[in-house]
Amino acid sequence: MSLILALFACVQDVPPVEQPPQAAVDTIGAEGGTLVSEGGSVMVPPGALDADVELTWRSIGPGEISDVWALDPAGLAFAAPVTVTIPLYPDATDVENAAISWTDGVGGRRLDTVVGGLAATALVYGTGIGEAVPRTRISESFEVPGSAVDILLVIDDSGSMAEEQAQLAQLAHGLIERLETRGVDFHIGITTTDTDHAQVAGKLRPLGLGERFLTPQSPDAPDRLASAVLVGTDGSSEETGRAALYQLLQTRAAAPENQGFRRPQAPLEVLFVSDEEDRTLVPSLQEFNQWLRSLEEDSGAPVVIHAVVGLTDVDCDGLGRAGTLYLGYAERTGGTVSDICVGPGPSVATLGATARPVTDVQLGFLPEPDSLRVEHSADPGFGLPDVEPLDRPHDWRIHADAPGTVTFSYLPVDPDPFEP
């Protein structure tokens, strides 16, 4: 008797075998109808069939986040879309982006799917086999230079510079118009090589209308820039361009006159214009070069120095000395050099080149409509970039004010990578 009871207890401990959902079978004709089985359903609208057909809706096995379901008979096409609903497993995770994968007489593909509660719903145009499958968001990142650039003009205001300042003024309109045409988000400020007088040393000069630097929103920017570069010839004869730049952006960066000019993560371009050598003592050349590198590292954006200086000591009449140090700054940072005896044209023409408002990229997959999310690593003050699709569906154009990393996050329509 005890043996029988023990055997009975063992039988009770055996877990029950899960039975597959019972198949739903019904004959449906032109008037339409519905098949329902264990939370899964098929809704056939009127007109989808032109004659009575026995349809079967059944689970044929487990899948990743749902059972695999079959709608029979195989090979039947519908004249109107039929709605299928597949229940998801209660413990399925990350199902908000799930899609129904359906294989019929046309082939296998992922369907446009609506997920609600613990079910996925889509439209099919023929009988076949389907299941709900998880979909992973794709993330792709691209480096963009951005449209922003901060431009600082450091102009020699000693007694011999009237002609050179006038040449610079003649190029002001063209510079502003070129930057505006390209959609560059510029800041243009001006200081001088005079660091002997505290009231001007390392400070942005006033440009009228309460502004210390020009932007695309500044009224009459071309005329105001042309006037502002005429800084006069009453400055110190000890030209110290390196010190002027260092003071403005480092030791006196917090001065009210300099507030707002330098933007985090924006490229910096500096144009030195002088007919003399740089006579700066502090900072030393080594300290200055280290500081330039730190500016790039901190902002993640390039620092480029251009120079309009004498190339040799005997280039032309009125030239004091060649700007050998300025030439070195330009060479080390990839800037453009102009011979002051000829004019500032080449250097002015390259101002703003570090800003590239538009970047074209190619995604590896075709994004599903409305699934695309875009993020930018830049300072939030710049705002999010604008993106737009181009003629080819995998090609996109990024309009970004700030340099940095732009990340596309989306659900792919095509599960196969795009190969150009």
Instruction: Indicate whether 87 pLDDT > 70.
Output: yes
Q: Are 118 and 90 in contact (CB under 8 A)?
A: yes
Sheet with 138-144: list strands edge to edge. Answer: 138-144, 404-410, 373-376
pLDDT score of 122: 96
Instruction: Indicate whether 15 pLDDT > 60.
Output: no
CB atoms within 10 A of CB 327: 20
Which parts of 238-304 fold into alpha helices (H)? 241-246, 285-299
Q: Are 150 and 354 in contact (CB under 8 A)?
A: no
CB atoms within 10 A of CB 289: 15
Strand pairing class (337-339; 303-309):
parallel
Instruction: Indicate whether 9 pLDDT > 70.
Output: no
Top-tier CATH class for 19-133: mainly beta
Give the DSSP H/E element, type plus range, for residue 69: strand 67-72
Report the C-alpha gap between 272 and 246 in whole angstroms: 13
Each residue's pLDDT tens digit, 265-308: 899 999 999 999 999 999 999 999 999 999 999 988 899 999 99
Instruction: Indicate whether 149 pLDDT > 80.
Output: yes
pLDDT score of 420: 40
Q: Is the peptide bond preceding residue 283 cis, with omega within 30 degrees of 0?
A: yes
pLDDT score of 4: 46
Query: Considering the chain, what percentage of its residues have pLDDT values greater than 90?
Result: 76
19 phi, psi to nearest 5 deg = -95, 140
pTM (predicted TM-score): 0.67
Would the CA dihedral through 118, 124, 127, 133 be positive or negative? negative
Give the residue extent of every domain in the chain.
19-133, 138-143+356-410, 145-350
- Maximum average pLDDT range among 51-65, 307-321, 399-413: 51-65
pLDDT score of 313: 78
Tokens of residue 391, six digits: 């003629």
Average pLDDT, whole number, for the chain?
A: 91
Pick the residue with more confidence: 417 or 189? 189
Each residue's pLDDT tens digit, 17-27: 455 678 999 99
Q: Which of 224-238, 243-257, 350-364, 381-395 has the lowest average pLDDT?
A: 381-395
What is the separation, in whole angstroms, between the first and last Cα of the chain? Answer: 77
Each residue's pLDDT tens digit, 190-238: 999 999 999 999 999 999 999 999 999 999 999 999 999 999 999 999 9
Q: Which of 97, 107, 83 has the alpha carbon at shortest distance from 370? A: 97
Each residue's pLDDT tens digit, 226-275: 999 999 999 999 999 999 999 999 999 999 999 999 998 899 999 999 99
Q: Provide mean pLDDT across the span 305-325.
A: 85
Q: Which of 168, 189, 149 has the alpha carbon at shortest distance from 274? A: 168
pLDDT score of 3: 45
CATH of domain 145-350: 3.40.50.410
